[in-house]
Every structure is written in C-alpha cells, then in structure tokens.
Amino acid sequence: MQVHLPNLTAWYKFTTAISLALDSLRAHKLRTFLTLLGVIVGVSSVVMVGAAIEGMGTYAEVTTSKVFGNDSFLVAQLANLGRTTRKERAEKLRRNKPIREGDLEYLRATTGDRIYYSPYTQTVDDVKRGNLTFEAATVLGVSATLPEIREVPIVDGRFFTDQEERNRQPVAVIGDELRVMLFPDTSPVGETIKIKGIDFIVVGVQEKLGSSGARTNQDNPVYIPATLYFKLYQRRNAGFAVFGKAKPESGLSMEEALDLTRVALRTRFHALPNQPDNFDTLTPDSIRSFVENILALISAVVVPVTAISLVVGGIVIMNIMLVSVTERTREIGIRKSVGARRSDILLQFLIEAVLMSALGGAIGLALGSGVLTFASRFSEVPLRVTAPYAVLALLVSSAVGIMSGWYPASRASKLDPVVALRAE
C-alpha cells in the first residue's frame, strides 16, 4: 500500500493551522467579537440593501401588472410623465392633441372590432353615505371594457355593463377603503352612495390592492361609467387618456394593436408622414424599463456605499492581526526553532484572518436574513435574501479576510527565530 506523504503533510499543516487559528480566536473572545462586528455589519447591510432593491423591482412588476395590465397600452396627450424633462413636457403639450370623446368614437369605429378601448379620466371628490363621508376619493370615468384591458379584481358583486354605460346609469364600483369606512357592517352591493349630490348604486367592490407609490392609493377609487363622468365632471374640450388592448380573437400582439391605434389617430389628427406622432403613448415595457433603470442607478450608488463597511471591517481585521503578531512573537520564534517554515507561519495567520472574516460573513448573512424576515411581515414589498447578493457579500468578506490577513501573516512569517525568541 502506497502512502502519499506529501499530501498527508500538506493536509496535516492545513488542519494544524486551522486548529491554532481557532485556539487563538477562542482565547480572545471579546477581541474576536469586536473584530467580527465590522464584517457582520457590512455583510448584513449589503444583503438587506440588495433584498430591498430586488423587492422593489418585484413589487413594481406586480403593481404595473395590476395597475396597467400586461398587454395593454395607453394613449394620451401626455402619457409618459416619469421619463420626460420639463422642456419635453412643454413641447409635447404644445405639439400633441388631447384625446376627446369624438376621437375615442373614431378609434372604436375604425379599429374597435379588433381592439378594446376604454377612456380613463379621474378627479377627486367626496363620497357620502348617510352621515358618513369619505373625503378625497378618486372618482374614475371608465368604460365597461376596462376589466378586459387591465386587471380590476372584484371580490363582491360585479363591474358595470356596457348597457349601463350607454344609458348613463348611476352605478359604481368602489375600492376597499370606501367599503371599510362607508359600509363597516354590511355588504355595499345594492346600497347607495352620493357623488356630487347624485345617488349611485354600488354594484361591485374592488379587491384590496395597497399603494403603488408614495402618492398613489389603489384602494380609494370609485369607478363610474365614463358617459356619466363626462356629464358630471369633464370640462368642455378637455382631454383624457385611453387604455387599449387587442381582443383575444383578433390574434394581434400588443405592438400590432398599438400600431393600428397610432395609424388611426395619426389619420384623425392629420399627422404628415415625416412628422412624429402628435399624441403620446405608454406601454408596460417602457414602465418596466424606467423602473429597472432607476433601480440599477440606486444599486450602483447604494451597494458600493454599504460595501465600504466591509472595507472598514477589513482594516480592523488587519490591525488586530498586527497586534496579534506582536503579542505572539515569542510563540512564532518557538515554532520556527522547532522546524516550522515560513509557509507554515504564513498559513496559520492567513487562515486566522480568513476564519474571522468568513465567520463574520456567515453571521452577517444570518442577521440580515432575520431582519428581512421580520420586516417583510410589515411591508408590502417582498423582502428576502437573494442568491447574487448573498454570494457577493460572502465573497467580498472572504476576499477582505485574505487581503487584510496577508500583510500581518507575511510579516509574522519573516520574523527571525532568534530575534523572536528574545521578545518578552
């Protein structure tokens, strides 16, 4: 039986170095903990920031799907508010034409056999029921086709019908906040609310959706037929937005449906062939792209800043290791005098530094995961540790350990054994 002594010797040196490193860490528990603290804070910060960024992206995706729809598009005089400068907005308002009732009817007449359309216009008004008043509800004028275009989840009752819209019947679908405040003890369906002094019959209740941003509450809407909304609120010649979506039986993609709508509106607004559209459009892809760009910018700025704490932790490890080398000079001299080579001393102190940083990384990862699990209970944004940021944090912490431990380990390995034995 052959025994590969070089391999056994290397393994013995490695395990001995780990054992000595662990003994050193256990002998100075408080100092070890304080050294680990910087790495723990750094890793947990990177993990939590990464989880927040990923969670915001997921939340934005879900919210966009709920608010906008996956295959729908929007046409308006000015639709893309978030991605335009003040100068660009002024230019669009000057060049673009507002979408009015006649334009919507033209779209329905020319392309309505293949595309669903719904106006989408809103105002803020009080909604009353008896002595109860819900202040500043979002009153939305839409068509009965809106649930076909984008998600309007109904948990009680139904959405109003096309006939109710054509007849301007005072019917409404309310959000969850209005249900809770105006109908705390009963189902709102079939009950009456007042808007601008007119009695509206509640025919449906929208599912609780939460907020889609700092200023956007999705649970306080009142959907009413657009035909009645225009009579109650719309100023003469005022424009509104139009949602569109290809009908399933048409076989059109979103891009094809949008192109048909653009051609129809360009004809309606007499846009010349070489001129840009004199109206604005918005799609879910452009919203997602905008959100992704914002999150990428945040990630590029915030993640490196949080990673600075890992660098600080590395500096702390280096300082502590230098102190440790000074304290253990005599030990190093004894080891060298009995045959330890420079590589053995280097390996011992390098492993000690890497163990501290790796242990700090593991604790930081566990701490960050715990904080995220707790915080996710109180947040609508999904917060969980993602593999890329976890791997990044652990790799960086290990690299910090190697870099911060190399110089002290190299210094220890270069000590002359005779000089080291004289140290007190």
| Nearest Cα residue to 193 out of 209, 170, 213 | 170
pLDDT digits 0-9 by tens, 123-162: 999 999 999 999 999 999 999 999 999 888 899 999 999 9
Assign 169 to helix, strand or coil. Answer: coil
Greater model confidence, 383 or 168: 168
DSSP at 217: B
User: Above pLDDT 90, what percent of the chain?
Assistant: 35
373: its two tokens: 């699990």
Q: In angstroms, rounded to a whole number, what is the distance separating the alpha carbons of residues 112 and 68?
A: 20
Mean pLDDT across 70-93: 79
pTM of the model: 0.67
- 1-10, 80-89, 164-173, 329-338: range with lowest mean pLDDT: 1-10
Question: Would you tell me the crossing angle of helices 29-67 and 342-375 to the nearest 10 degrees?
Answer: 40
Q: In angstroms, rounded to a whole number, what is the distance separating the alpha carbons of residues 397 and 319?
A: 16
Q: In angstroms, rounded to a whole number, what is the distance separating the alpha carbons of residues 389 and 296?
A: 14
Q: In angstroms, rounded to a whole number, what is the distance separating the alpha carbons of residues 252 and 62?
A: 24
pLDDT at 84: 63
> What are 204's strand-pairing partners?
157, 173
What Å distances lie between residue 418 and 233, 295, 329, 336, 349, CA to CA?
95, 59, 11, 9, 20
Over 90: is that where the pLDDT of 424 sits?
no
Give yes or no for a contact between 288 and 61, defined as CB atoms under 8 angstroms apart: yes
Give yes or no for a contact between 169 and 119, defined as CB atoms under 8 angstroms apart: no
> What are 374's strand-pairing partners?
none
Assign 207 to helix, strand or coil. Answer: coil
Q: In angstroms, rounded to a whole number, what is the distance separating the alpha carbons of residues 117 and 74?
A: 10
Greater model confidence, 403 or 277: 277
pLDDT at 212: 54
